[in-house]
Amino acid sequence: MLCALNTGGEVVFAFNAMRGGRYYCPDCGGVVIFRKGTKVKPHFAHKVKSVCLNNSAESMAHYNAKYVLAQQLLNNGYQVEVEQPIAQIQQRPDLIVNGKYAIEIQFSSIPLEVLQARTIGLEDQGYEVIWVVPQPKFYQSRMKLQQLQSVCVNPVSRRLIT
Ligand SMILES: [Zn+2]
């Protein structure tokens, strides 16, 4: 996970964490270990495996994208919340920026209905939703969009974020 709480209850991002520090899971309060290796970007992991929501499997590509996005947004003065549960709709968008934008990073294909339901849920709560999808492939210098990519093109701005 990208964020943990320190002993003072403050949110600490993995890129600001220190080895040997005491950190806790924001969801269950369990002890988490800060890990910093060569292959994976720095992250927190539960010391004891639990049924915590924050244990959900996440691909390395997904975590890395979330890590880099959150770090860059914070460095540019944005306020960033990570996987903040929104109780009314039972969703946890990857990032919420300035309390206004919900960023969802989606690298695997999901049913269109799920994507629409998540978008509508967040929009109903007043968020502007931004989907981040894999880079499209090119065939003979033509961009070829998969369904996930084509449905994530913003219909107004015609922008696709990859
Ligand atoms: Zn937990």
What is d(CA 98, CA 135) in angstroms, rounded to the nearest whole number?
A: 26
Tokens 């770090």 -> residue? 71
pLDDT tens-place string over residues 38-95: 888 999 999 988 778 776 677 888 999 999 999 999 999 999 999 999 989 999 999 9
Whether residue 64 sits in one domain with residue 49: no
Does the pLDDT at position 149 exceed 80? yes
Cα of 48 vs centre of ligand 1, distance in Å, is 9
pLDDT at 40: 81
User: How many residues appear in the chain?
Assistant: 162
Q: Would you say 54 and 28 are in contact if contact means Cβ atoms under 8 Å apart?
A: yes
Q: Would you say 34 and 18 are in contact if contact means Cβ atoms under 8 Å apart?
A: yes
Cα of 33 vs centre of ligand 1, distance in Å, is 11
Cα of 53 vs centre of ligand 1, distance in Å, is 6
Whether residue 161 sits in one domain with residue 88: yes
Whether residue 69 sits in one domain with residue 135: yes
Whether residue 93 sits in one domain with residue 38: no
What is d(CA 154, CA 161) in angstroms, rounded to the nearest whole number?
A: 9
Quickly state the pLDDT bin for 116 (edges 50, 70, 90): very high
Mean of per-residue pLDDT scores for the chain: 92
Cα of 13 vs centre of ligand 1, distance in Å, is 15
- Identify the domain containing residue 37 by its residue range: 1-55
Whether residue 40 sits in one domain with residue 4: yes
Quickly state the pLDDT bin for 24 (edges 50, 70, 90): very high
pLDDT tens-place string over residues 44-60: 999 988 778 776 677 88
Q: What is the mean pLDDT of residues 107-117?
A: 93
Whether residue 64 sits in one domain with residue 77: yes
Cα of 32 vs centre of ligand 1, distance in Å, is 8
Q: What is the mean pLDDT of residues 104-114?
A: 93
Cα of 47 vs centre of ligand 1, distance in Å, is 9
The CATH number for 61's domain is 3.40.1350
Whether residue 153 sits in one domain with residue 129: yes
Whether residue 65 sits in one domain with residue 38: no
Does the pLDDT at position 122 exceed 80? yes
pLDDT at 60: 86
Using left for φ > 0, alpha for ψ between -120 and 50, and beta otherwise, residue 107 falls in alpha
Whether residue 107 sits in one domain with residue 81: yes
Cα of 149 vs centre of ligand 1, distance in Å, is 32
Q: What DSSP state is assigned to residue 39?
A: S
3-state secondary structure of 64: helix
Cα of 4 vs centre of ligand 1, distance in Å, is 9
Please, what is the Cα angle at 153 between 152 and 156, to 5 degrees?
A: 125
CA distances to 36, 38, 53, 99, 123 from 126, in Å: 36, 39, 24, 9, 5
What total number of domains does the chain contain?
Answer: 2
Whether residue 157 sits in one domain with residue 119: yes
Q: What is the mean pLDDT of residues 108-137?
A: 95
pLDDT at 8: 96
Whether residue 71 sits in one domain with residue 103: yes
Cα of 158 vs centre of ligand 1, distance in Å, is 38
Quickly state the pLDDT bin for 151 (edges 50, 70, 90): very high
Whether residue 92 sits in one domain with residue 40: no
